[in-house]
Amino acid sequence: MKKIVACYKWVADEADIRIDEKSRALNFDRVKYKISEYDRNAIEVGNSLKDKYSCEFVAVTCGAQVESSLKDVLSRGPTNVYYINDEILADADGGVTAKVLAGIIKKIGAVDLVICGEGSGDEYGQQVGPRLAALLGYASCTFVTKLDLTDEGLMAERKLEDGIEVVQVQGPAVVTVLPDINTPPIPTLKQILGAKKKPTTKLSLKDIGLSRDACAPKLKNIGVLGTVMERKGICMNIDGLSIQEAAEKLAKRLSADGILG
Amino acid sequence: MSEDRFDVIIVGAGPAGSTAAYILAGAGKEVLLIERGDEPGAKNMTGGRLYGHSLEKIIPGFAQEAPLERRIVKETVSFLTSDTSVSFDLQSELLGSGGKESYSVLRAEFDCWLAKKAEKAGAILVTGIRVDDLFMEEGRVKGVIAGEDIMEAGVVILADGVNSLLAQKIGMKQELKPHQAAVGAKEIIELPGEVIEDRFNLHEGEGAARLFVGDCTKGRIGGGFLYTNKKSISLGLVFTLSDLQSWEKTVPEMVEDFKHHPAVSPLIKGGRTLEYSAHLVPEAGYSMIPKLYGDGVVVVGDAAGFVINIGYMVRGMDLAIASGEAAAKAIISAHDVYTTQALSRYRKLLEESFVIRDLKQYSKFPAFLNNKRIFNEYPQLIAELMTDFFSVDGSPVPPMMKRILKPVKKVGLMKVASDVWKGVRAL
């Protein structure tokens, strides 16, 4: 029985991030977290392969506050989730994340296929998949829009700028998938209830033999500023103007501002 | 618990559903609480005010832990014409104490908190799932259907809100009629806490509630409301759906006009709109209460039409909480036999509580409010009267009685007298 792992990142829901109009700083006060959208595709690939070939299928994640993600991911198909929850991973870059994930996957052992989203929903660095392949000594296969298992490994279609490439991989591989590959279903009532009974496996950095020094990111984010749309806050029909008149007034105003050509 | 069966399934994690779940789980029942939104409260909307008495009974001292915004100590009712506002203002320490406490709340936070309380008591909360239908066998409710899943239960509590499709599907409730519901539309406008306290003359943590009658609904049956939150203001309108077809303006346009009214705009000046929402509000009071219980099923909260609207006061959440409590108690005392007969105790408990008593008390009020003079002529009358009292421009001053009667006569003395009489009787 083949063993499949899907990796996912627990990211801030971008819909909840607010931008301070003056400083343009990002405000995370009311932010909720979610499984990165691209990783949902990866999880669904693993889930459908599990159903098709009766593979063993588990999920893997790491981060600073990933415990709240466990029920969610388990409702999407995997039979277990292996994770490391450590504050030190709050600022992890792609390199650190790949090291930790590789450690967990080695700990699971004899994994045939690792599936990741092409990039994460928050930073989209596209680093983790290929780095993971290097660390595990697996083949790396990116931009995948179609995937099937073969006896020796896998067949994949890669969507490139100028066409579709079909590749065959021998032996274990790390595959990164594009959103086109599937439409992840919303978990059903029974899947959600079932998830509450599934096991989870908590590991520590020590368990995978990684020192805290090794978890210091080399890439550091020194600032993110949002884009702000400048609004003048002018209301055209405030004096009870008809829509017709207001539209004319607006057109005049826009052409005076040189916006209409 | 077997794989697919619970003692109780509750549809909707609003105040009514979560209260029932909290009490039932506490009594050792296997409870499944299903919410359609991604989080409890995500789909819910309120003007913004919770009268605390019914929850205090269930969770004593809840105000210490619940995410409440401000304790209301100030009530203002304003009559608006397009350019004038006449207000009655009550500020009293007695308003916010001795069991009469009420609070402004934001539902996204409050409903989450209450659902988490139910979860901690042992209920299983599942969010992001819509219940499509009830699972029936031999004419009785045996569970719920969500997508392809059937989940069985001894009894199902319908707490699925004002337009309860599930109650309609099994014939406990008629489809909503336009006169039975109003539309509520509201903006949450962000302002610093100190600015709110300065503008509304409040101490830290204290809040103000305001109601507006007249021009804000353009003379239609309904009114405007404003509640102060910690760092925002909830501002909106509620108006009847009965004459919706004849409206010239859309609901968002009406809200926008309301924000620009000279009596309102200084209150929200400099604020930024964080969210806009709209929702149906049950309006018909006692007369719209559906069949409240059946074989294997009870209906609570907005789904049961438990809202009291008496113009200067709109109550829903305290009734919802009390109805959730009554449903839970009836279910506990039914001892796993959820027949119509056993669940009739729910109605009995409601009759003994303030829920049915208050709904009956105000049962004539929806009809009384169905009088356009209240929203047109009277605000105009009061505005004219008061403006006249306070105007000095050197012209001769007529005798007081004449000054009062002049605007009253415009409406018709008998009509005014009859409306006042009806109003007092309805209350």
Chain A residues near residue B4 by CB distance under 8 angstroms: 190
Strands B181-190 and B206-214: unpaired
**Residue A224 backbone dihedrals phi, psi, to 5 degrees:** -130, 130
Q: Are residues A9 and A65 in the same domain?
A: yes
Least confident span in A22-31, A54-63, B302-311, B399-408:
B399-408
Q: Are residues A207 and A237 in the same domain?
A: no
In angstroms, the separation between the Cα of residue B109 and the nearest Cα of chain A is: 11
Q: Are residues A211 and A246 in the same domain?
A: no
The interface predicted TM-score of the complex, written ipTM, equals: 0.79
Confidence (pLDDT) at A261: 65
Chain A residues near residue B34 by CB distance under 8 angstroms: 189
pLDDT tens profile A70-111? 999 999 999 999 999 999 999 899 999 999 999 999 999 999
Q: Are residues A159 and A259 in the same domain?
A: no
Burial of A28 (0-12, 13-18, 19+ CB in 10 A): exposed
At the second CATH level, the architecture of B179-282 is: 2-Layer Sandwich (3.30)
Q: Are residues A151 and A176 in the same domain?
A: yes
Rounded distance, CA B201 to CA B194, Å? 10
The answer to whether B273 and B188 are in contact (CB under 8 A) is: yes
Q: Which of A118, A167, A130 is nearest to A147 (CA)?
A: A167
CA distance to A76, A108, B4, B100, per residue, from A189 (Å): 11, 29, 10, 40
Q: Are residues A206 and A236 in the same domain?
A: no
Chain A residues near residue B148 by CB distance under 8 angstroms: 188
Mark yes or no for CB contact A190/B149 under 8 Å.
yes
pLDDT tens profile B356-403? 998 888 887 777 777 777 777 788 888 888 888 788 888 877 777 777
Q: What is the span of the domain harbouring residue A251? A: 231-261
Mean pLDDT calculated for residue range B339-368: 88
Mark yes or no for CB contact A186/B148 under 8 Å.
no
pLDDT tens profile B405-419? 777 777 777 777 777
Strand pairing partners for B228? Answer: B233
The answer to whether B247 and B219 are in contact (CB under 8 A) is: no
Q: Which of B324, B359, B366, B363 is nearest to B238 (CA)?
A: B366
Chain B residues near residue A33 by CB distance under 8 angstroms: none
Least confident span in A246-255, B25-34, B43-52, B204-213:
B43-52
Confidence (pLDDT) at B178: 79
B71, pLDDT greater than 80: yes
Q: Are residues A146 and A29 in the same domain?
A: yes
What angle (nearest 5°) sits at the alpha carbon of residue B195, between those of residues B112 and B215? 85
Mean pLDDT of chain B: 88
Angle between helices B377-389 and B400-411 (to 10 degrees): 160
Rounded distance, CA B125 to CA B143, Å? 16
**Residue B133 backbone dihedrals phi, psi, to 5 degrees:** -160, 170
Other residues' Cβ atoms within 10 Å of the Cβ of residue A25: 14
What percent of chain B has a predicted confidence (pLDDT) above 90? Answer: 52
Mark yes or no for CB contact B146/A189 under 8 Å.
yes
Reported as a pLDDT band with limits 50, 70 and 90, residue A61 is very high
In angstroms, the separation between the Cα of residue A216 and the nearest Cα of chain B is: 35
Confidence (pLDDT) at B1: 44
B22, pLDDT greater than 50: yes
Nearest to B147 among A32, A189, A193 (CB): A189
Q: Which H, E and C letters describe B20-75, residue by residue? A: HHHHHHHCCCCEEEEECCCCCCCCCCCCCEEECHHHHHHCCCHHHHCCCCEEEEEE
Reported as a pLDDT band with limits 50, 70 and 90, residue B422 is confident
In angstroms, the separation between the Cα of residue A185 and the nearest Cα of chain B is: 12
Reported as a pLDDT band with limits 50, 70 and 90, residue B210 is very high
Q: Which CATH code for domain B5-69+105-174+290-352?
A: 3.50.50.60
Judged by CB atoms within 8 Å, which residues 230-269 of B form the interface with A? 256, 260
Reported as a pLDDT band with limits 50, 70 and 90, residue A115 is very high
B192, pLDDT greater than 50: yes
Q: B423 vs A70, which has greater pLDDT?
A: A70
Mark yes or no for CB contact B124/A193 under 8 Å.
yes
Mark yes or no for CB contact B126/A190 under 8 Å.
no
pLDDT tens profile B129-138? 999 999 999 9
Mark yes or no for CB contact B149/A189 under 8 Å.
yes
Q: Is residue A206 part of a domain?
A: yes
Mean pLDDT of chain A: 93
Mean pLDDT calculated for residue range A19-33: 87
Q: Are residues A236 and A140 in the same domain?
A: no
Mark yes or no for CB contact A189/B124 under 8 Å.
no
Q: Which of B34, B117, B155, B144 is nearest to A193 (CA)?
A: B34
pLDDT tens profile A195-226? 999 999 999 999 999 999 999 999 888 888 98
At A27, list the tokens. 């405000």
What percent of chain B has a predicted confidence (pLDDT) above 70? Answer: 98
| DSSP conformation letters of B320-337 | HHHHHHHHHHHHHHTTT-
Q: Are residues A131 and A245 in the same domain?
A: no
DSSP B178: G
Least confident span in A166-175, B7-16, B318-327, B363-372:
B363-372
Other residues' Cβ atoms within 10 Å of the Cβ of residue A44: 20
In angstroms, the separation between the Cα of residue B150 and the nearest Cα of chain A is: 9
Q: Are residues A114 and A243 in the same domain?
A: no
What angle (nearest 5°) sits at the alpha carbon of residue A118, between those of residues A113 and A123? 130
Chain B residues near residue A32 by CB distance under 8 angstroms: 39
pLDDT tens profile B117-153? 999 999 999 999 999 999 999 999 999 999 999 999 9
Mean pLDDT calculated for residue range B214-226: 84
Rounded distance, CA B326 to CA B311, Å? 27
Q: B403 vs B167, which has greater pLDDT?
A: B167
Mean pLDDT calculated for residue range B316-320: 93
pLDDT tens profile A149-180? 999 999 999 999 999 999 999 999 999 999 99
At B278, list the tokens. 């709209």
Mark yes or no for CB contact A193/B129 under 8 Å.
no
Confidence (pLDDT) at A229: 77
pLDDT tens profile B259-291? 999 999 999 999 989 889 888 888 777 887 889
Q: Is residue A81 part of a domain?
A: yes
Reported as a pLDDT band with limits 50, 70 and 90, residue A139 is very high
Q: Where are the beta strands (DSSP E) in chain A?
A: 3-7, 10-12, 18-19, 26-27, 33-35, 56-63, 81-85, 113-117, 139-149, 153-160, 163-170, 173-177, 200-203
Reported as a pLDDT band with limits 50, 70 and 90, residue B203 is very high
Q: What is the CATH number of the domain that holds A38?
A: 3.40.50.620
Mean pLDDT calculated for residue range B148-165: 93
Q: Name the residue of chain A whose CA is nearest to B272's CA.
A: A21
Q: Which of B132, B197, B159, B162 is nearest to B32 (CA)?
A: B159
The answer to whether B156 and B297 are in contact (CB under 8 A) is: yes
Other residues' Cβ atoms within 10 Å of the Cβ of residue B177: 11
Q: What's the number of domains chain A is made of?
A: 2
The answer to whether B297 and B172 are in contact (CB under 8 A) is: yes
Q: Where are the beta strands (DSSP E) in B206-362?
A: 206-214, 222-228, 232-240, 272-282, 293-294, 297-299, 308-309, 314-315
Where is B11: in which H helix or E strand? strand B5-11
What angle (nearest 5°) sits at the alpha carbon of residue B162, between those of residues B157 and B164? 50
Mark yes or no for CB contact A188/B148 under 8 Å.
yes
Q: What is the CA radius of gyration of chain A?
A: 23
Least confident span in A3-12, A84-93, B317-326, B387-396:
B387-396
Most A-contacting residue of B2, B33, B126, B254 (CB-CB within 10 A), to test interface: B126
Reported as a pLDDT band with limits 50, 70 and 90, residue B347 is very high
A4, pLDDT greater than 50: yes
Confidence (pLDDT) at B3: 63
Confidence (pLDDT) at B413: 75
Mean pLDDT calculated for residue range B200-214: 92
At A191, list the tokens. 């899947």
Other residues' Cβ atoms within 10 Å of the Cβ of residue B130: 15
Q: Are residues A25 and A123 in the same domain?
A: yes
Nearest to A188 among B4, B149, B260 (CB): B149
B219, pLDDT greater than 80: no
Mark yes or no for CB contact B126/A193 under 8 Å.
yes
Q: B427 vs A241, which has greater pLDDT?
A: A241
Confidence (pLDDT) at B36: 94
Mean pLDDT calculated for residue range A129-157: 96
Confidence (pLDDT) at B425: 72
Q: Are residues A243 and A136 in the same domain?
A: no
Q: Which of B24, B61, B158, B50 is nearest to B109 (CA)?
A: B50
